[in-house]
Structure 1
């Protein structure tokens, strides 16, 4: 395996204006092949994003308890990690390149935290179902970083904050999950009304994000009574924490797709203004 020097890593990601950070509520995989208010907003935002040197996604659907992995295959395979959906969803293409040099640059930024390179994973639906709208024809490498599901939220926040400097080298970071994600309480009928607790938890977390009350967001179950219902497991909440860690303290956020889908899936998303 080729060994990359510091010069290799620095030359691959040239200094750039600071790139934005996004957190995207990805919701139902069917959004990948749907034309609706959510997907149209993804397309609108994607068209206005500055040109990146790499896109790095932190998806709720890649959990690696006890470690953090970074994709480093030269070309990404598409993972159809779901069942019970129309066959058309499992035929969605998303041809994209990876980049072993960028993967090593990310690992280097983690410093003493030992992240692992992973050529076996690909792009799961938390990534490609959003990118088919945000970046439908990627011209830069796309990588994923996994979530250590055993890591406490404050430690997760501190760990991903180490990657912040890569925003100044053309890296566009996207967290992909859902702040409110109670799939077991989903209402499948069209135009279903949102549960009161889902609306409440979405509201209070949105306020905390806007006001950058990080301590509360890193301890949601003690902070808000509705958290136990709205976040029965925090796999989809963690990408928001990772995205939040990449923000500068004085950066403003703008929200989009602030609706509750299927009664219990919060689509609230944000990006640096």
Structure 2
């Protein structure tokens, strides 16, 4: 089995879960984006910056699990109704086809135990990826690979894939999950302040933060046990699933540091976390 690079003691990378919220956060001067910028400066100042970024975005759903494997991933504007300035955004980070092939050999799809599939042209970097990576790494000089999610599969299998990703951290890979701890667009209130949210949103965010702080990863995968609260927090759960990949890639001795705690529109949690 090949590896991306011989592991080095200084190359172990952190794990991030980023609440990305509105696509406008990519270009607006707000507290969320400023925190992404500050975090990026910290990561770039480490003795060993990432050799590769592996991003799991809420916005790429496939049958089975796939990796982008093109030389130059295109910038995907997978939204509508926003200003032209947002559609003008580009994130020209290179891809890494050889590294994608290496990762596909190291990670197996749950159930069928096949390597991850390789996508050499159809996808690229959707806004779940570039909207947070561009503020953090504006030079776009670190290769980026996206990992898709098979939405048909149960949450426990997404967590299982995340656990397989843990070994990549020692090969210089920064793992970034991009979604939201709470995500309900149907109930958004655009006039709400960042500290305002529905009671069910606050409850789901609080319980999830408790699981993360205590390292209860299996409980994270059982989020639907919260019943009506979980249903309100995630009418569909594609924005929750990236959290399972990030939490799965974390060691038992690692605890998260939370940042960007707050809400957009009363029903989107911006809570983010970094481990390691």
Partner of 1:134: 136
- Offset at residue 84 of structure 1 (A): 0.4
* Contact preservation (8 Å) 2:214, 2:255: no
Length, aligned pairs only: 264
Q: Distance in 1 between matches of 2:138 and 2:31?
A: 17
Kindly indicate whether residue 70 of structure 2 is the aligned counterpart of residue 73 of structure 1. Answer: yes
Partner of 1:191: 193
- Offset at residue 161 of structure 1 (A): 1.3
- Given the two structures, how large is their TM-score scaled by the length of structure 2? 0.92
Partner of 1:83: 80
* Contact preservation (8 Å) 2:257, 2:275: yes
Q: Distance in 2 between matches of 1:35 and 1:261?
A: 15
- Offset at residue 159 of structure 1 (A): 2.1
- Offset at residue 225 of structure 1 (A): 4.4
* Contact preservation (8 Å) 2:257, 2:274: yes
Q: Distance in 2 between matches of 1:123 and 1:164?
A: 22
Q: Distance in 2 between matches of 1:233 and 1:59?
A: 15
Kindly indicate whether residue 168 of structure 2 is the aligned counterpart of residue 176 of structure 1. Answer: no
Q: Distance in 1 between matches of 2:106 and 2:79?
A: 32
Partner of 1:34: 28
Kindly indicate whether residue 90 of structure 2 is the aligned counterpart of residue 93 of structure 1. Answer: yes
- Offset at residue 138 of structure 1 (A): 2.2
For residues 14 and 217 of structure 1, do their structure 2 counterparts lie closer, same or farther at Cα, with a shift above 3 Å needed?
Answer: same
Q: Distance in 2 between matches of 1:162 and 1:236?
A: 20
- Offset at residue 223 of structure 1 (A): 3.6
SS at match of 2:75: coil
Partner of 1:151: 153
Of 220-229 and 20-29, more deviation after overlay is shown by 220-229
- Offset at residue 109 of structure 1 (A): 1.1
- Offset at residue 24 of structure 1 (A): 0.1
Which sections of structure 1, spanning at least 5 residues, go unmatched? 1-5
- Given the two structures, how large is their TM-score scaled by the length of structure 1? 0.93
Q: Distance in 2 between matches of 1:93 and 1:241?
A: 28
Which sections of structure 2, spanning at least 5 residues, go unmatched? none
Q: What are the equivalent positions in structure 2 for 1:243-254 lying under 5 Å apart?
A: 243-254=246-257
Partner of 2:221: 218
Of 15-24 and 166-175, more deviation after overlay is shown by 15-24
Kindly indicate whether residue 108 of structure 2 is the aligned counterpart of residue 114 of structure 1. Answer: no
